Amino acid sequence: MAMVKGGCLAPGLVAISAALLTTGCGGSGGTTPVSPPPSSSGGPVWTSGVYAPSSQFKNKCQTVRTGVDIEGNPYPDTQGSTLYENFWLRSWTHETYLWNNEVVDRNPANYSDPVTYFGVLKTTATTASGKPKDQFHFSLPTDEFLKEVNSAPSATYGASFHVFSATVPRDVRVQYTEPGSPAAQVVSGSPNMIRGDKILEIDGVDAVNANTQTEVDMLNAGLFPATAGETHTFKLQDPGGTTRTISMMSTNLAFKPVNRTAVVNTSSGDVGYILLNTFSPYSSEKEIADAITAMKNAGVSDLVIDLRYNGGGLLAVASELGYEIAGAAQTNGKVFEAFKFNADAGNLDPTSGQPNQPAPFFDTGLGFSLANGTPLDSLNLSRVFILTTGETCSASEAVINALRGINVQVVLVGGTTCGKPYGFYPQDNCGETYFTIQFQGVNDMGFGDFADGFAPANSSDPYAVKTDGCAVADDYNHDLGDSNEALLAAALQYRQNGSCPTPPPSAVAVKSVAPGALAIKTQARPDVMKHNLDMRMPN
Amino acid sequence: MELKRASSAIIGAGLAAIAACQTAGGAQRPAVLASSDPETMAKVKAVLSDALGTARIELGAGDPTQTPSITVLPRPPSAYEGMSTAMPTTFDIVLSGGRCLLLRRDTAAAYELRGVACRPLPR
């Protein structure tokens, strides 16, 4: 399964991205280097188990960058060597990596490429389910990293696509559309695209069966426009089976964190619904606060937060959401998330050297997009319904864990979450930005062991942490926020009488994409506005 | 607490850690910028850039001509950071001895806004 906003379809199995996924998400992995080691003349000498401070090796580069980066900061590089870069990685890992005592100490001189060496500087342990404990270890060139975080909104139609099958017979569906976007534009009485639309043709090319490189290139060009102002034609089949052909022009657009809200009237009171797709952009702070205020003004008695496609983002904004759900009485003096670093760090954050301070439930704006100190509204709920899938990740899971940590009842409806209670601070050295897991987030009760995700109580997943709620497969036959949509409907049913739909649908009724069958473009902006790519790794 | 100019040179010490406090050296009063015109904000950003040691300065929400603080946004989280601990950095605006200062809230370091007019926050 893969969800893409920028990416490539492959003819059969072209080029794809086992390599990209490995580079972007999984690390360079564990292979033994075969090339000759770099010269160590005049450089540091390895002694097993003895680590000099990483500061001794920082910015001592084989290739020195000169001038300033795209943010205007001078490059800090000085002349060094690959050996110095490797020694920096070794010491930095020892100082800051969460599982530093599980890393085998290998001689840096035996590796001719820092990225390859970094790939082995991680644990090889597995979780209870058998997946690698650290599947989040990777690096990328710093200029790419800076370009991505500083990029403007990119060309899109305003539709999020889900690729159920990247190879023939392909199955690409519309996951949701952005309000006000070309995809949501109403033409002849109906929106250009609706959730669940299956893409049959793009610019006359059979999107299901075409299998030449030229055709696949055309499909990619149409599905993922390179620039604003491109017009492409789509033949679509809607969830009811009706086909239609539409044309859309791409535009530069940033996806909104809060895609939509609704109030569902029930016999036992109104229920609020918020589709929240990311905590990443600064605007998420204000959009969430505005949505909560609207729910408060509407007098809702319960709240459904739809995090099924929310890969996380700013933990502080997630903390604000926790406060906005639970209110002052339940959060006062409580920890939203405390940070567990490696044992050697003691009471310090080893990445900064500063005291390790937990994140509280923030009850005011912090200045991201609400003025610092702006009081936040809260709904003062003792329970909340959260809709989830495997794309519910990181800061989204932190919300679930934090509320459970203060005894707010969290009712999960959907599938098992991704299982990423970890975080990192990206670090540049000599032109490469390294991502190594440095902390585990734990809640007010000290719990944070959900590396195999959270799942509803009746889920068949044997490894996830079980919570109240119902396992339900994602429903592409109804729009998000529609009270007939399977996850929302199950939440409403559970709220009404404590029961789940029977029999429990399988948690995720989607087909996996064959390894290497889908390429995620790295030049098309990784979706800052939406997803944490950490979760897009092959399982 | 250190008082610093845009050049980061320490030019004084002993100021109170928070804007509302008073010191033996004189009162500090919460203040706001007299103007937020581009020229003023360019000067403010230059001081902030030096204070934070980064060329990229993006101000957060809030109107420093109305409220006595300025926030500087962190670098946006990348698509790879689903659990970002990034936070804005907040500076309080104070008047001290006729000088307009920015006090960094998390470190208490002070930076002078030379050539920038401030006015006391109306009580």
pLDDT in tens, chain A (539 residues): 334 433 334 333 222 222 222 222 333 333 333 344 445 467 999 999 999 999 999 999 999 999 999 999 999 999 999 999 999 999 999 999 999 999 999 999 999 999 999 999 999 999 999 999 999 999 999 999 999 898 888 899 999 999 999 889 999 999 999 999 999 999 989 999 999 999 999 999 999 999 999 999 999 999 999 999 999 999 999 999 999 999 999 999 999 999 999 999 999 999 999 999 999 999 999 999 999 999 999 999 999 999 999 999 999 999 999 999 999 999 999 999 999 999 999 999 999 999 999 999 999 999 999 999 999 999 999 999 999 999 999 999 999 999 999 999 999 999 999 999 999 999 999 999 999 999 999 999 999 999 999 999 999 999 999 999 999 999 999 999 999 999 999 999 999 999 999 865 543 344 333 333 333 222 233 332 233 222 222 22
Measured between beta carbons, which residues in chain B are less than 8 angstroms from residue A422?
83
Q: Which sequence spans correspond to the domains of chain A?
A: 258-327+363-418+453-508
Please identify among residues 264-283 of chain A the ones whose CB lies closer than 8 Å to any CB of chain B.
Answer: 280-282
Measured between beta carbons, which residues in chain B are less than 8 angstroms from residue A525?
79
- Pick B82's closest partner by Cβ from A148, A282, A532: A532
- Contact flag B83-A359 (C-beta cutoff 8 Å): no
pLDDT at A259: 98
Kindly state the helix (H) or strand (E) to which residue A272 belongs, with its residue range.
strand A269-276
d(C-alpha A48, C-alpha A28), whole Å? 23
Nearest CA in chain A to B87: A316
pLDDT at A154: 87
State the CB neighbour count (10 A cutoff) for residue A206. 16
pLDDT at A66: 97
Q: Which CATH architecture best describes the domain A258-327+363-418+453-508?
A: Alpha-Beta Complex (3.90)
pLDDT at A503: 65
Kindly state the helix (H) or strand (E) to which residue A146 belongs, with its residue range.
helix A142-149
Nearest CA in chain A to B92: A372
Mean pLDDT of B32-61: 96
Measured between beta carbons, which residues in chain A are less than 8 angstroms from residue B88?
366-368, 372
- Spell out the long-range contacts of B45-53 with Cβ–Cβ below 8 A and sequence spacing 24 or more: B46/B6, B47/B6, B47/B102, B47/B111, B47/B112, B47/B113, B47/B114, B48/B72, B48/B91, B48/B102, B48/B111, B50/B4, B50/B6, B50/B7, B50/B8, B50/B111, B51/B4, B51/B8, B51/B91, B51/B102, B51/B104, B51/B109, B51/B111, B52/B89
Is A395's Cβ below 8 Å from some Cβ in B? yes
pLDDT at B26: 59
Q: Positive or negative, the Cα torsion across A81, A85, A87, A91?
A: positive
pLDDT at A96: 98
- State how far Cα B7 lies from the chain centre: 14
CA angle, B94 then B98 then B104, to 5°: 25
Which two structure tokens, joined as six digits, stand for A171?
Answer: 């199955």
Nearest CA in chain B to A422: B83
Measured between beta carbons, which residues in chain A are less than 8 angstroms from residue B76?
149-150, 280-282, 528
d(C-alpha A75, C-alpha A59), whole Å? 9
**Tokens 């954050």 appear where?**
A349
